[in-house]
Amino acid sequence: MGALDRLIRDAIEDGIFPGAAYAVCRRGEIDQGFIGRFTYNPDSPAVGPESVWDLASVSKVIGTTSAVMLLVQSGQLDLDKTVASVIPEFATHGKEKITFRNLMVHDSGLIAFRPYQESFTRAEDVMAAIYNEELTYATGSQCVYSDLSMILVGEAIHRLTGRTLDVFLRNEVFAPLGMNHTGYFRPDTSTFLNAVSRTSCVPTERIEPWRRTLRQLRGVESAFAESPEHIQGEVHDPTATVLDGVAGHAGLFATLGDLITFMRNFTSSMPMLFARETIAEFTKCQGSLSTRALGWDTKSPEGSSAGSKFGPRSFGHTGYTGTSIWCDPDDGTFAILLSNRVHPTSENTKILTFRPEFHEIATESPV
């Protein structure tokens, strides 16, 4: 048994998560593992290559940021254009000059998040509320990581291309790369891409009362009958749930194998979809206010979830459900961690100390 397998087995014993999948690429060679079960019930399915994970905020980079990169390359999107030039309804309360670059580096002035699920049950009402938000700080004066920013980017992609975010990504990113087990679950469908069912998804948190009420309002209770107690095959993020499962900040599901495919291509000397210059620009730190790149984050000097041994130019992102991707472009190393640390409750925050330890071992263990 390798060091990473031992670490993850110990984590399961410690209640950090009931199951996890991981991949580490070093010098072009992949080490991967599938450990634990969907839940702490010993009769629940074992985690395996076909297990599908709620990526949470890793959706921001594998999904939304990838779409932005393609649109920038094709000339359909200029990061220095104002958001209001694409979404006129956004031009309220001093937000007229906010650019897409501001959204991508999270210095727009928008609040980090709001519990929209407490007030709204329709996607259009959530979007109207976001358009009407007031700024919480002067644009460009500080960095506040904001779900609202990436939700707006997702809507802009829809308006610029005439295709919803899920359809654009399926046609332009996932299908070309052969990522056939990656996509978004809408509430009125039981599968995406006719390949992935809800029951193949690793469960996340206990179902909240507001979520049950929303399902009833939408008449979709039957789609979730096989998982009566926990969220399964439905996005965990509350705002993404009200936004019909497709949003710029969360909602993407994927297998470990599909993420390996994406990162192998992303780190290739001849990537299929993105110019090397585009990748370099989107994955480098964009200023002195924070470690943020464009969509992606970069490694902070201290306290990074990537640990201490990934290089200074490393980039990555984490997800609330217990997911993360980190990559060191200088030696081509990348590490993917997929877990359901929010099962059965998101009050469990032990993943915060686990992630750096995982990456320390990932950089040391031979492949």
Question: Strands 53-54 and 29-36: what pairing?
Answer: unpaired
- Please report whether residue 218 resides in a domain: no
φ, ψ of residue 105 in degrees (nearest 5): -105, 0
| E-strand stretches of 40-165 | 53-54
User: Domain span at residue 344?
Assistant: 3-59+180-206+249-364
- Please report whether residue 118 resides in a domain: no
For 299-328, b/e burial (b = at least 16 CB within 10 A) is: beeeebbbbeebeeebbbbbbbbbbbbbbb
pLDDT above 90 (res 267): yes
Cα atoms in the 13 Å half-sphere on the side-chain side of 97: 4
Structure tokens at 355: 């992630």
- Please report whether residue 233 resides in a domain: no
pLDDT band at 252 (very low <50, low <70, confident <90, very high): very high
Residues 129-159 pLDDT 10s: 999 999 999 999 999 999 999 999 999 999 9
Residues 172-219 pLDDT 10s: 999 999 999 999 999 877 667 667 889 999 999 999 999 999 999 999
Tokens 């407490």 — which residue? 118
The average pLDDT across 246-252 equals 98
- Please report whether residue 45 resides in a domain: yes
φ, ψ of residue 65 in degrees (nearest 5): -65, -35
- Please report whether residue 31 resides in a domain: yes
Q: Give the closest residue to 56 by CA, choosing from 248, 236, 296, 241.
A: 236
- Please report whether residue 215 resides in a domain: no
- Please report whether residue 48 resides in a domain: yes
- Please report whether residue 239 resides in a domain: no
Structure tokens at 163: 């295709």
First to last CA, the chain: 13
Cα atoms in the 13 Å half-sphere on the side-chain side of 50: 8
Residues 63-97 pLDDT 10s: 999 999 999 999 999 999 999 999 999 999 999 99
φ, ψ of residue 24 in degrees (nearest 5): -130, 125
pTM (two decimals)? 0.97
Residues 27-57 pLDDT 10s: 889 999 999 999 999 999 999 999 999 999 9
Q: Give the closest residue to 319 by CA, choosing from 345, 344, 338, 334.
A: 338
Residues in the chain: 367
DSSP 62: I
Strands of 29-36's sheet, edge to edge?
Answer: 29-36, 19-26, 333-339, 323-328, 315-319, 297-298
Average pLDDT, the chain: 96
The predicted structure's pLDDT at residue 220: 93
DSSP 350: T
Cis peptide before 344 (omega within 30 of 0): yes
For 81-112, b/e burial (b = at least 16 CB within 10 A) is: ebbbebbeebbeeebeebbbbbbbbbbbbbbe
User: In whole angstroms, what separates CA 44 from the centre of its chain?
Assistant: 25
The predicted structure's pLDDT at residue 191: 65
Structure tokens at 314: 């490393």
For the chain, the domain total comes to 1
Residues 96-133 pLDDT 10s: 999 999 999 999 999 999 999 999 999 999 999 999 99
User: CB of 333 within 8 A of CB of 25?
Assistant: yes
User: CB of 126 within 8 A of CB of 132?
Assistant: no
State the CATH number of the domain containing residue 318.
Answer: 3.40.710.10
What is the DSSP track for 165-196? HHHHHIIIIIHHHT-TT-EE--TT-SEETTTE
DSSP 85: G
Longest dimension (CA), the chain: 58
pLDDT above 80 (res 225): yes
Region of 260 please: left (phi>0), alpha (psi -120 to 50) or beta.
Answer: alpha
